[in-house]
A and B are shown apart, each in its own frame.
Chain A
Amino acid sequence: MQLDAEPLISVLAEKIGNTSPDIGVVGIHTGGVWVADKLAAKIGATKIGRIAVTLHRDDYAMRGLHPQKNKTEIGVDINGRHILLVDDVIQSGRTIRAAINELFDFGRPASVKLAVLVDRGGRELPMQADYIAITMPLDGAQKLELINSGDDLRFEILEG
């Protein structure tokens, strides 16, 4: 099953409303970066970087390092900045926990808010998004994956 992500980005932008250009948008690799690129343009905020959570993941002790070439790049001083963190999906909340830790390695932001396209339920940590385009409870075995065709983003739902 497929789900067009483009209208969801518009819904998310509407919920966030107009923001000041001072808000720094940070996407979480990989899907969150794609969403952040489009979202920042719609809400008139500034993209200031991207976050890879590899170095703060909590399953390192069990599974080792996830080899990937993506790395965190924060182009500006985030001390005192208002940050909008963007991801495609929130589930357990573990990625968000790791992303916030990673962000704080670069400084102390004035505030951090979280925007996601899909809240699929299944939280294992007390992490909640400030802006959600759609809430769609899925069971743990189902996979929800954001696909980038180059022009458009869409979700693919795979049954477990």
Chain B
Amino acid sequence: MLTANPQLTPDKKLRHLLTTEGLPKSLIENILDTAAQFVSVGDRDVKKVPLLRGKSVFNLFFENSTRTRTTFEIAAKRLSADVINLNINASSTSKGESLVDTIDNLIAMDADMFVVRHAQSGAAHLIAKHVNAVRPNVAVINAGDGRHAHPTQGLLDMYTIRHYKKSFHNLSVAIVGDILHSRVARSGIHALTTLGCPDVRVIGPKTLIPTECERMGVSVHHDMLRGIEGCDVVMMLRLQNERMEGPLLPSAQEFFKSYGLTAEKLARAKADAIVMHPGPMNRGVEIESTIADGRQAVILPQVTFGIAVRMAVMSMVGAGRGDAA
């Protein structure tokens, strides 16, 4: 028997958000359209709508990430939820409590939603499976699990691309750098192929590209000058030194020489190509400073759109299922 996609309800609505892999195209488009409604909330006198009033959102960060946690917190607060931030590294798990026990305790505190960041791939899935069994009203949003997925980042990247390029048809997108350790790249690739983007290229050294990467529907390039040729979107990735085991790279300087985004390399892309980066940026390692601050960079709009996309996801998984058949 096939296991049903645990992030969807039987009538194909968003129940949890764990990965962009396997999300139907219509649902991704629905998330992006919903986010568009929320973008303008940031411009109002009152930057708040009452959709999650009375709900408690727990940010469970087993791994540090100030930016992602902050944008989830802002998103939840703009939806009028109560937000509880837990930095778990510093508390229970270090005392030996198991993940499921931690979750059960927080459910006993009447949590309505968990936003989970964890160094282990599959952590959010595990939590979602557990809450499905014990408390079907609680929703789980994956805010990054190991090398596996970072779906809200993938979706905000799609929002950004759609904002500037209007459609995914006839689009060439290059994803550059440390693909091997990047959940951002995986979530982006799945969303891009689902949305019908015909040309997704990954560019990086052999040591930082997963084997059989082509099976995800992308072309692989080791020569950046050739890989970036004529593309509409350049997505740079952060070099994840903290996840590297053993020497995968000679040095950051060597990496910059081959795969850092410079004016010279960017000139090979289309003249109106946009440059994206999920942050935090290592200037002079993945990207030249003048490019990061240049007219083609949309790195700060990505952050702003990220709040609206997270509001959209939270308001969709947080909706009551009172009329669910």
Contacts and interface: CB of A to CB of B under 8 A. Distances in A.
Contacts of B50: 55-56, 101
Interface string B232-256: 0000000000000000000000000
Contacts of B94: none
B36 to A, nearest CB: 7
A65 B40 contact: no
Most chain A beta-carbon neighbours within 10 Å: one of B13, B30, B51, B316: B51
B133 interface: no
A65 to B, nearest CB: 5
Interface string A113-139: 000000000000000000000000000
A105 B11 CA distance: 34
Contacts of B319: 60-61, 63-65
A55 B49 contact: yes
A38 B300 CA distance: 41
Interface in B310-325: 315-316, 319-323
A71 B37 contact: yes
Interface string B16-54: 000000000000001001101100110011101111000
A71 B315 contact: no
B323 A71 contact: no
B49 A71 contact: no
A96 B62 CA distance: 44
B37 A52 contact: yes
A72 B40 contact: yes
Interface in B274-325: 315-316, 319-323
Contacts, number: 57
Contacts of A62: 320, 322-323
Interface string A41-61: 000000000001011100011
A106 B45 CA distance: 5
A67 B45 contact: no
Contacts of B41: 55
Nearest to B50: A56
A53 to B, nearest CB: 11
B320 A60 contact: yes
Contact of B316 (A64, A69, A71, A104): A64
Nearest to A72: B40
A71 B51 contact: no
Nearest to A63: B323
Interface in A138-154: none
Given A55-B51, A67-B30, A67-B34, 15 more contacts: A52-B37, A55-B50, A56-B50, A60-B315, A60-B320, A62-B322, A63-B319, A63-B320, A63-B323, A64-B320, A65-B51, A71-B37, A71-B40, A105-B44, A106-B44
